[in-house]
Structure 1
């Protein structure tokens, strides 16, 4: 007997959340980021708020960092607040962010400053990599090299250890494949979200 399979529908907020943020939902990664363009009549910010309400009891926050006033597209940050807070509280991370012009503060205050930079600055704030859990040395390497001269490229551009980074990329890709299969076969996102 052949198992029935749900056919993927066109991209939706839930689909992007389940597949693009799989490593964060699985607890492998502290945070993920994706851009979502809502269909006419959809309110992407309301969708993010609804998913935040559904996933926050499992230790995952869904937050809109930026919304385009013209198109309604949103930049959605999906993260595990406790892990991001620990990550950003490390002295070397605070020193780096201070050097990039951030005022020291809590993780929420630093995220507010990042959101402000995304909305108001002409240049993209490449320090966003530290908010996604990328190795600090690779984020610094990216900034110093203007995105060139990397030794490997996957979820981020690598300037330090390409072998270790590739192993991490492979873990994330495998997680995304598993989560996509589960999601398309009907497993609810809440069930796919590993509790903190």
Structure 2
């Protein structure tokens, strides 16, 4: 799967402006991944989105790719409850989004378990992130794009919107729309 196709499949709601960020694993095919990544990164940057590699695996050659809307992630990380939560989780104070993302990337590489606070970076409700951690992924009220521990009706609406968006973007991409045409400018 090309990087553009992976972005459509795994990050359509972020491309459409429905959520601040998306994270997905990509297994590069061929030796042109670096060039593909840089070209895609430049195209996205012109529209207010940032593409970064949070982690790479030497053994498999796979990467964790993170796409985010700069302004959207800044707003999420500026919320006092999110900032307090990340500090509670051991993050040190950060000056900008990149400083906070560097800490997340380090945690992804150094910790044995997946850092569940990553939900903040993906725009998940804090109630659901805390609920997942407290219940160890069990006793949720609804499971979709994430496990919900709060209002299942609100989560269901959000899950449907993300699914509808992804279906629409897949269809449009298959019919020849380019990534640039599908990005809603930030």
Q: Following TM superposition, where does structure 1 have runs of at least 4 consecutive aligned residues deviating by more than 4 angstroms?
A: none
C-alpha distance in structure 1 between counterparts of 2:132 and 2:37, whole Å: 30
Q: How many residues align?
A: 185
**SS of structure 1 residue aligned to 2:155:** helix
Q: What's the CA shift for 1:19?
A: 2.3
Give how far 1:156 is off: 0.5
Structure 2: gaps of 5 or more residues: none
Shift of 1:126: 0.7
Counterpart Cα distance in 2 of 1:143 and 1:42? 39
Aligned-partner Cα distance in 2 for 1:144–1:178? 35
| Larger radius of gyration between Structure 1 and Structure 2 | 1
* TM-score, length basis structure 2: 0.96
Partner of 2:59: 70
Instruction: State whether structure 2 residue 40 is matched by structure 1 residue 51.
Output: yes
TM-score (structure 1 length as normaliser): 0.91
CA shift for structure 1 position 13 = 1.5
Instruction: Report the 3-state secondary structure (helix = DSSP H, G, I; strand = E; otherwise coil) of the residue aligned with 1:150.
Output: coil
What is aligned with 2:126? 136
SS in 1 for 2:140: coil
- Alignment pair present for 1:171 and 2:157: no
Structure 1: runs of 5 or more not aligned: 1-10
Matching residue of 1:6? none
Within the candidate set 76, 80, 83, 1:94 is matched to 83
Tell me the distance in 2 between the aligned counterparts of 1:156 and 1:63: 22
CA drift of 1:135 comes to 0.2
Q: What whole-Å deviation, never above 9, does each CA across 1:51-99 have from its counterpart, x for those lacking one? A: 1111111111111100101121000001101110111011111110011
Contact 1:49–1:63 at 8 Å: present in 2 too?
no
* Contact 2:2/2:29 (8 A) holds in 1: no
Equivalent position SS for 2:177: coil
Alpha-carbon distance, 1:42 to partner: 4.3
Q: RMSD value over aligned CA atoms?
A: 1.1
CA contact (8 A) 2:26 2:65 kept: yes
- Give the superposition deviation at 1:117: 0.6
Q: Separation in 1 of the partners of 2:153 and 2:37?
A: 35
